[in-house]
Structure 1
Amino acid sequence: METDDCIIIGAGPAGLTAAIYLARFHLSIRLFDCGSSRAATIPCTHNHAGYPDGIAGKDLLALMLAQAERYGARREAVEVTALARDGDDFGVRTDHGEWRARTVLLATGVVNHRPDMDAALHDRALAAGLLRYCPICDGYEVTDKRVGVVGTGDHGMREALFLRGYTRDVTLVSPAAVHDLDDACARALDAAGIARVEGPCGGFAIEDGRLALDTAAGRMAFDSVYPALGSRIRSELAVAAGARATAEGCLEVDDHQRTSIPGLFAAGDVVKGLDQISHAMGEAGVAATTIRNTLADRAPLRR
């Protein structure tokens, strides 16, 4: 069986950046992509440097893939099901066969927890900017608009406070019947003038150009709604192989993106960080360079 220099698992901004670097290092790599990059769901990002008019997530990924392929990167449309050390190398099992690699980079990202709404409606609302998941990315677009945050507790409070920097009209809606807010959270919300409404929320629909939902206070409609419901870190492959992770599931890495397993690297949202494209790309550049140097320590890399 052929042994690649590196297998990259995940083809979002982190995985594709690493593919560009590693291919340009003249290394043999494979890029495994199950087609579920969170970046692909971004209707238009305006804070990615170099695109003053913004760029859709799918368009950005397509450009990055084309750049990686120009230098010889190979994308495989497969889903990885298991990962394990095999001597000094790794065995990578997929739904279409097995491969070996000297190193592996995990760039699998996270999955947002969604509000309880129809999938087709979710996608329409997301495309229209009525539903948003990242106030760091697109808070500017809701400046002085009516914004709802579906969430509670410390996480919901912090997201509502962050959005208060863009608009005075912010309402925190509990996803369940009652809010789970301690006194400190309640005081912080009150001091910022953020309304609190009990749930459960449901009955989502697009009405008169807004996203409407049912609450304990009646039906409400917002220019944009932010679900602050957390996410699932897609680190299961590495954890099953023995890599250390936080209680939330974020993989622990050093300053060079090395996990606790020699030869296994991680970059992007699967690592605790900012959940930003630019940050993921930076981590991927560090990881790819370290991978190249790690391989050079094992055997000289010469043309």
Structure 2
Amino acid sequence: MPKIYDIIIIGAGPAGLTAAIYGVRANRKVLVIGGKNPGGQLMLTTDVEDFPGFPNSIQGPDLIKNMTEQARRLGAEFFNDNVASVNTNKPPFEITTETKKKFSGKTIIIAVGSAYKWLNIPSEYKFKGHGISTCAVCDGYFFKNKDVVVVGGGDTAMREALFLSNLCKTVTVVHRRDTLRAQAVLQERAKARKNIKWLWNSDVQEFLGNKNLESVKIKNIKTNKETILKTAGAFIAIGHEPATGFLKQHIKLDAKGYVAVKNQTETSVPGIFVAGDVRDFKYQQAITAAGFGCMAAMDADAYLQGFREISNKSKKQK
């Protein structure tokens, strides 16, 4: 008979790993399915200076490594593969990975996170972590008093530009339309900043440099004119995509594809909980993801206590 876990956590970023730590400390059998590339967005982050407890900062991958080792030392088990499907009919829930491995859990915590959208141009990958970022709060400080660009025209782009304008010499917003999609209040604030500049009707064609980013090739989509803009950094801010494709037919999602929640961590399926960026389109920070991981594990444990009582009553009745 296959092993049945008390809690199966899908995702090994700060939300999933925090949930694992709290789960095993509640004396639960916990499995973390971390995906083929576990660690989440922190694996692409250099110095993490906004996570409490590290006065000299910590590298994103090192933070994930420490959290993983802590969860493993306490007793959590790990399996790295992408989840292909989840049978949500009734507990124990069955999870099937892409390599056809099957696991069963009395509860599930979904902590798969969301991914930043990228431009997907060939030169982009070369400079990730070497001038190209998707998080101004995480990496903006490293470009203090330098010239940077922000790509995008929505809420995310305006928030990034506003944050960077307090640190950087100039911030040039590159947007492929002639109007912004951001909330009016964000537009007004950004346009009022003297060091925020604008390139309308423009697309990034290529990122240029040696080891680090040095300039960006930009094309005006109306005139087809190409220009080279020198810059120390480029922040891609064209939104996020929740990694919920495998859940669409099983769990209620909101209009943006994030997991719909009630009471902070509960999904539309009793016994299945959610934590981190996959349910949070607003804050998108490692510390908030970790907090939701703690909450989801505590809620899963509370559910299991009720589940256990119901099971015992059923046995007595038989």
Match of 1:227 among 236, 255, 263: 236
Q: Note if contact 1:235-1:270 (Cα within 8 Å) is conserved in structure 2.
A: yes
Match of 2:60 among 47, 57, 60: 57
What is the DSSP-based 3-state SS (H/G/I as helix, E as strand, rest coil) of the residue aligned with 1:60?
helix
Q: Does 1:296 align with 2:285?
A: no
Shift of 1:4: 1.1
What is the DSSP-based 3-state SS (H/G/I as helix, E as strand, rest coil) of the residue aligned with 1:200?
strand
Q: Once structures 1 and 2 are overlaid, which stretch shifts more, 64-73 or 247-256? A: 247-256
Q: Note if contact 1:125-1:211 (Cα within 8 Å) is conserved in structure 2.
A: no
Alpha-carbon distance change, 116 to 28 in structure 1, aligned in 2, over 3 angstroms = closer
Matched residue, 2:129: 127
Matched residue, 2:180: 181
Shift of 1:38: 1.8
Shift of 1:237: 2.9
Amino acid at match of 1:192: R
Matched residues in 2 for 1:154 and 1:62: separation? 32
Matched residue, 2:315: none
Matched residues in 1 for 2:154 and 2:278: separation? 23
Alignment of 1:83-122 (within 5 A): 83-94=86-97, 95-118=99-122, 121-122=123-124
Matched residues in 2 for 1:49 and 1:154: separation? 27
- Alignment gaps of 5+ in structure 2: 221-225, 312-318
Q: Note if contact 2:151-2:157 (Cα within 8 Å) is conserved in structure 1.
A: yes
**Cα RMSD, aligned residues only:** 2.3
CA offset digits 1:265-298 (Å, max 9, x no partner): 1101101241111101111101101111110111
Q: Note if contact 1:110-1:233 (Cα within 8 Å) is conserved in structure 2.
A: yes
Q: Note if contact 2:135-2:160 (Cα within 8 Å) is conserved in structure 1.
A: no
Matched residue, 2:84: 81
What is the DSSP-based 3-state SS (H/G/I as helix, E as strand, rest coil) of the residue aligned with 1:201?
strand
Aligned length, in residue pairs:
295
Matched residues in 2 for 1:55 and 1:42: separation? 10
Alpha-carbon distance change, 181 to 208 in structure 1, aligned in 2, over 3 angstroms = same
Matched residue, 2:314: none
Matched residue, 1:137: 138
Amino acid at match of 2:180: L
Matched residues in 1 for 2:258 and 2:42: separation? 18
CA offset digits 1:22-57 (Å, max 9, x no partner): 112111121101133222111221111111222112
Matched residue, 2:44: 41
Determine what percentage of the aligned residue pairs are the same residue: 28
Matched residues in 1 for 2:181 and 2:133: separation? 26
Shift of 1:255: 3.3
TM-score normalised by L of structure 2: 0.85
Shift of 1:2: 2.4
Q: Does 1:269 align with 2:304?
A: no
Matched residues in 2 for 1:267 and 1:179: separation? 37
Matched residue, 1:280: 289
Amino acid at match of 2:163: F
Q: Note if contact 1:4-1:28 (Cα within 8 Å) is conserved in structure 2.
A: yes
Shift of 1:244: 2.1
Q: Once structures 1 and 2 are overlaid, which stretch shifts more, 163-172 or 281-290? A: 163-172
Amino acid at match of 1:143: K
Q: Note if contact 1:153-1:180 (Cα within 8 Å) is conserved in structure 2.
A: no
Match of 2:203 among 200, 216, 219: 200
CA offset digits 1:140-166 (Å, max 9, x no partner): 332222110011244433332232222
CA offset digits 1:175-232 (Å, max 9, x no partner): x3x4333795765443212211131221211159543111246200211111111121
TM-score normalised by L of structure 1: 0.89
What is the DSSP-based 3-state SS (H/G/I as helix, E as strand, rest coil) of the residue aligned with 2:283?
coil
Q: Does 1:3 align with 2:4?
A: yes
Shift of 1:138: 2.7
